[in-house]
């Protein structure tokens, strides 16, 4: 096979004892997965290893990678997403073998972002290295393989529940798993999903949470007042906040509709949303036509998310199937009362009724959670905030979780 691709000689590792780790990311916009990667890279010991990051890339990601110094190489990913296997595999082999990795780590925003081709190429290109291996890190759910007995819709003449379609999808997933040394997931819920819907052996999967700097994400009365004054929000208002890139899965319209149910009952409650990403214009139109628009504040991308959190009181995560929720952990660390839908991540993070409120994935569920949060007395809100911050300090302190992740990935760290 290698002769037909003209790449056999390039499978050998370069003549050096230093490990070369290659991270591969598909995301075309800067988001949570890129933040995790940058947090990891900031703690790598570059006297013992070199790093390359292969991605479609964004200006924000490239700028931050460059700031890490000469130990990190940024490589543009130029392979089409929809290429057939016979064309995709040799392309991946040429790309990966030219980078001489001893270890390849695929970072997936959704389970199955990478097909079997790049994983097979990575296995081929690292198998002759003394420390060669392939890892996959899953930060969110993906589409499940159609289950047996599922909806009877024909796929190329076969029923997905019993025919070739299901067998083909399961084969691709199992091949990916077999070619990796280990699969890592961001939450226990994602691990369970892989085991149940993708046929992964639970013992082949480990959970690697991420975290935040609790000293940086902490309450500050001065910053709280400054942000409110700059954005025309009353000092005594109760501020609901949701921040992050606007994509369909985040279901931000669910929060807006829940706020519309509550704003007349609570004349001192405001909503602040960061409006950037693919659905930003759609959100702007929805707010412009909302009866609650006078108390909805849309702000752009926040280079420093601590400011918007310190200015707020209640954080709301209204997503479908949120894999983890770094923004949720940031809000907990800042001492906000949190309302989050019951995705795999929030279920891992929140202790319902203790450090926050877990709600159903619906407008009514979010509204019910907000009513509970708004009904708290000042003393109850303070107690919940303290429990929330303690949860983060105990389980999600950034230094601890990064060391755990780099140890698991076998990457030297400072």
The tens digit of pLDDT for each residue in 215-239 reads 999 999 999 999 999 999 999 999 9
200 and 264 part of one domain: no
Answer yes or no: are the C-beta atoms of 197 and 142 closer than 8 Å.
no
Q: Is residue 236 located within the same domain as residue 182? A: no
Same domain, yes or no: 17 and 144: yes
Question: Is 295 part of any domain?
Answer: yes
**Does 240 share its domain with 144?**
no
Instruction: With respect to residue 133, please indicate whether it lies within any of the assigned structural domains.
Output: yes
Residues 166 and 268 in one domain: no
Is the same domain home to 44 and 92?
A: yes
The verdict on residue 216 lying in a domain is: no
Whether residues 189 and 336 fall in one domain? no
Whether 189 and 241 map to the same domain: the answer is no
- Residue 270: inside a domain, yes or no? yes
Distance set, CA 5 to CA 82, 88, 94 (Å): 20, 11, 8
CATH number at residue 379: 3.40.50.2000
* Residue 5: per-residue pLDDT: 36
- Give the model confidence (pLDDT) of 259-310 as tens digits: 999 999 999 999 999 988 888 899 999 999 999 999 999 998 888 899 999 9
Low-confidence residues of the chain, pLDDT below 70? 1-17, 142-166, 169, 352-353
Residue 414 inside a domain? The answer is no
Contact 180, 197 (CB under 8 A): no
Give the residue numbers spanning the domain of 26. 2-211+399-408
Q: Which two tokens stand for residue 45?
A: 């010991």
pTM of the predicted structure, to 2 decimals: 0.84
pLDDT at site 279: 85
Domain-located, residue 311: yes
The reply to whether 140 and 262 lie within a common domain is no
Q: How many domains does the chain have?
A: 2
**Per-residue confidence (pLDDT) for residue 15, from 0 to 100:** 46
Q: Is residue 93 part of a domain?
A: yes
Three-class SS of the chain:
CHHHHCCHHHHCCCCCCCEEEEEEECCCCCCHHHHHHHHHHCCECCCCEEEEEEECCCHHHHHHHHHCCCCEEEEECCCCCCCCHHHHHHHHHHHHHHHCCCEEEEEECCCCCCCHHHHHHHHHHHCCCCCCEEEEEECCCCCCCCCCCCCCCCECCECCCCCHHHHHHHHHHHHHHHCCCEEEECCHHHHHHHHHHCCCCHHHEEECCCCECCCCCCCCHHHHHHHHHHCCCCCCCEEEEECCCCCHHHCHHHHHHHHHHHCCCCCCEEEEEECCCCCHHHHHHHHHCCCCHHHEEEECCCCCHHHHHHCCCEEEECCCCCCCCHHHHHHHHCCCEEEEECCHHHHHHCCECCCEEEECCCHHHHHHHHHHHHCCCHHHHHHHHHHHHHHHHHHCEHHHHHHHHHHHCCCCEC
Note whether 225 and 130 are same-domain residues.
Answer: no
Residue 276's pLDDT is what?
A: 84
pLDDT on residue 28: 79
Whether residue 171 lies inside any domain: the answer is yes
Same-domain pairing of 174 and 284: no
44/170 same-domain check: yes
């Amino acid at each position: 096979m290698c002769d037909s691709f003209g790449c056999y000689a390039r499978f050998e590792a370069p003549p050096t004892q230093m490990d070369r780790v290659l991270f591969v990311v598909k995301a075309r916009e800067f988001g949570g997965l890129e933040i995790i990667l940058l947090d990891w890279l900031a703690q790598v010991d570059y006297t013992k290893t070199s790093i390359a990051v292969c991605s479609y890339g964004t200006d924000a990601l490239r700028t931050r990678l460059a700031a890490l110094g000469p130990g990190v190489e940024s490589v543009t990913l130029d392979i089409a997403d929809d290429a057939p296997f016979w064309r995709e595999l040799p392309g991946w082999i040429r790309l990966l073998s030219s980078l001489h990795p001893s270890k390849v780590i695929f970072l997936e925003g959704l389970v199955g972002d990478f097909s079997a081709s790049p994983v097979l190429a990575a296995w081929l290109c690292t198998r002759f290295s003394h420390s060669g291996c392939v890892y996959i890190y899953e930060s969110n759910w993906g589409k499940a393989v159609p289950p047996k007995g599922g909806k009877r819709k024909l796929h190329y003449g076969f029923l997905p529940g019993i025919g070739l379609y299901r067998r083909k999808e399961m084969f691709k997933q199992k091949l990916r798993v077999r070619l990796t040394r280990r699969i890592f997931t961001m939450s226990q819920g994602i691990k369970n999903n892989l085991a149940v819907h993708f046929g992964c052996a639970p013992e082949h999967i480990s959970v690697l949470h991420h975290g935040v700097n609790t000293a940086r994400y902490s309450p500050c009365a001065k910053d709280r007042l400054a942000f409110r004054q700059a954005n025309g929000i009353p000092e005594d208002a109760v501020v609901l906040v949701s921040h992050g890139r606007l994509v369909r899965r985040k279901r931000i319209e669910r929060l807006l509709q829940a706020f519309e149910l509550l704003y007349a009952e609570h004349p001192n409650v405001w909503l602040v949303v960061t409006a950037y990403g693919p659905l930003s214009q759609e959100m702007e139109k929805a707010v412009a036509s909302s009866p609650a628009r006078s108390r909805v504040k849309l702000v752009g991308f926040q280079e420093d998310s601590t400011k918007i959190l310190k200015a707020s009181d209640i954080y709301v995560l209204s997503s479908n199937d949120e894999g983890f929720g770094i923004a949720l952990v940031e809000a907990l660390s800042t001492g906000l009362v949190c309302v989050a839908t019951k995705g795999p991540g929030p279920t891992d993070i929140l202790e319902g009724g203790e450090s926050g409120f877990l709600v159903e994935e619906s407008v009514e569920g979010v509204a019910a959670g907000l009513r509970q949060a708004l009904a708290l007395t000042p003393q109850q809100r303070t107690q919940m905030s303290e429990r929330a911050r303690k949860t983060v300090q105990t389980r999600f302190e950034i230094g601890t979780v990064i060391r755990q992740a780099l140890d698991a990935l076998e990457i030297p760290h400072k």
